[in-house]
Amino acid sequence: MISSAFASLLARRQVHYGWVMAAVTFVVMLTTASALGAPGVLMPPLEKEFGWTTAEISSALALRLVLYGVIAPFAAALMIRVGLKRVVASALALILVGLALSTQMQARWQLTLTWGLLVGLGSGMTAMVLGATVASRWFTKRRGVVIGLLSASSATGQLAFLPVVARLSESHGWRTAILLIAGLLSVTLVLVVLFMRDRPEELLQRPYGEPVDAPQAPPPPRISPLGTLREVSASRTFWVLFATFFICGASTNGLVQTHFVSMCGDYGMMAVAAASVLALMGLFDFIGTVGSGWLSDRYDARWLLFWYYALRGLSLLYLPHAEFTVAGLSPFAVFYGLDWIATVPPTLKLTTDAFGREKAGVVFGWIFMGHQLGAASIAYGAGVIRTAQETYTPAFLLAGALCLVAAGLALSIRRKSAPVLVPATA
């Protein structure tokens, strides 16, 4: 097997195979996120070609966001039972089928089937729970940095490809843009088949940073997603993390990713220019989320969440009053982009601390479902507001206010020791 030979080659050079797993997972989450994010740019050409309203398209896009979250805890449990490679390869194939079929759609139910159902299911199987699973299985040290990198890849993938998608859509049609994403996913599928492995023990290795005299990890337990939910539903910490992540999804994927380009169009800004602003957000999101992973290894995660949500809320409250040009929106793109998905590393850290390493992936999957329910709610709700009132402003103001609520909720999580921005003890 190529991965075994490559692992041996790296071991002779004192390089742990966990970094290969992190790299492959990075590419997987980057490309699948691009498939999830592309519809936000393609909404105007769909309206023009088929005559569908913003609310009608938003309902199909909201379905993909719901499934992106609902499937997460079940995908985490499936990764334990059948392995990472099988789950990830199947997910990529599902997304490819959905994208291929979407190029032939003529009716709105076909949009719901392809971009809603198939892309939603496939991307949900390779969402944040994949990054959480890889980071927890393959890394003992540097886990926060790794989950920061992988979280950044997911958010950046939803934004970084948008200018190219928008330009291709304008010059060659939206179907050509979809084929580009399908090509990237095909290359990713090959990398998964060749290099992805389930656990370090398969290669006679320990997780990166695990002491050589540490007890051998027991065989992974069979974890029931629904049983785990019943168990953690008695925990106040779980519901606080669920609620804050609901607001996180509402203020990122559901609103800005889905409706930002259309909102800019209301102010006379071209789609390519608006997508360029989103790409700038993606660049600074990468910096912010990796930095958040580094901070999560060192500081109290509750206070990190407080600052992330509070600053995001202020930026969203400011946005409707900004000048809608590339220069005018650049400060917002930088400020908001640094905070786009920086909430993931501290949320995962609090989840692992509260519920344990083995269950962390499944529990985080349920928390992530809250993220996507929030995203789906506002993806649809903002579309309805835009159709009824011909403005997105109330939706953005609502999201900003909710972020301020989330900032307060984050500090309500109980910990044994919770100093402000000093090294965490748990």
For the chain, 426 residues long, give each residue's pLDDT as a single digit of tens.
687 888 888 888 888 898 999 999 999 988 887 887 777 677 778 888 888 877 778 777 777 777 777 787 888 778 888 888 899 999 999 999 998 898 888 888 888 888 888 888 888 888 777 887 888 888 888 777 788 788 777 666 666 677 778 778 888 888 888 888 899 999 999 999 999 988 888 888 888 887 766 665 555 556 678 888 888 988 999 999 999 999 998 998 788 877 888 888 888 888 778 878 877 887 788 888 888 888 887 888 999 999 999 999 999 999 888 888 888 888 898 888 888 778 888 998 898 888 876 777 788 888 988 887 888 888 888 888 888 888 888 999 999 999 999 999 999 987 643 333 344 433
Quick check: is 212 in a domain? Answer: no
- Is 311 part of a structural domain of the chain? yes
Q: What is the CATH number of the domain that holds 299?
A: 1.20.1250.20
The verdict on residue 266 lying in a domain is yes
Structural domain span for residue 336: 12-200+228-410
pLDDT at residue 394, as a whole number: 92
Q: How many domains does the chain have?
A: 1
Residues in the chain: 426
Question: Looking at residue 240, what is its pLDDT?
Answer: 95
Has residue 7 been placed in a domain? no
Is 322 exposed, middle or buried (CB count within 10 Å of its CB: 0-12, 13-18, 19+)? Answer: middle
56: its two tokens: 């009608």
Instruction: Evaluate whether residue 316 is within a structural domain.
Output: yes
Alpha carbons 367 and 349: distance in angstroms, whole number = 13
Asked if residue 333 is part of any domain, the answer here is yes
Q: Is residue 416 part of a domain?
A: no
pTM of the model: 0.70
pLDDT (0 to 100) of residue 409? 95
CA angle 221, 346, 151 (to 5 degrees): 80
Identify whether 206 is part of a domain. Answer: no
